[in-house]
Structure 1
Amino acid sequence: MEKQESKYGFNNLAETWNGRLAMLGFVIGLATELLTGQGILSQLGLM
């Protein structure tokens, strides 16, 4: 029998995608801040 890894919960695939999406969000946030001249919090109306 082959061992099948779960597709849900904490596993290597989920952690890899979590890291990739976090890096993508950081780069998009930084690019938006550079283009608009406003911080992320001020763009959201929190400051």
Structure 2
Amino acid sequence: MTEEQGKFGFTEFAENWNGRLAMLGFVIGIATELITGQGILSQLGLM
């Protein structure tokens, strides 16, 4: 019998998606800074 692995927890599937979404968020953050001329913290009103 084959054992099915879940899609939750520290699996290769979850880690791949976590890395992809982190890279996407980083690129969006940099692009937003370039477009507005303000840092992310300034845009959120934290500075």
Structure 2: runs of 5+ lacking an equivalent: none
- Cα RMSD for the two superposed structures: 0.6
Instruction: Give the fraction of aligned pairs with identical amino acids, expressed as a percent.
Output: 74
* Matched positions, count: 47
TM-score of the two chains, using structure 1 as the length reference: 0.95
Structure 1: runs of 5+ lacking an equivalent: none
TM-score of the two chains, using structure 2 as the length reference: 0.95
User: Following TM superposition, where does structure 1 have runs of at least 4 consecutive aligned residues deviating by more than 2 angstroms?
Assistant: none
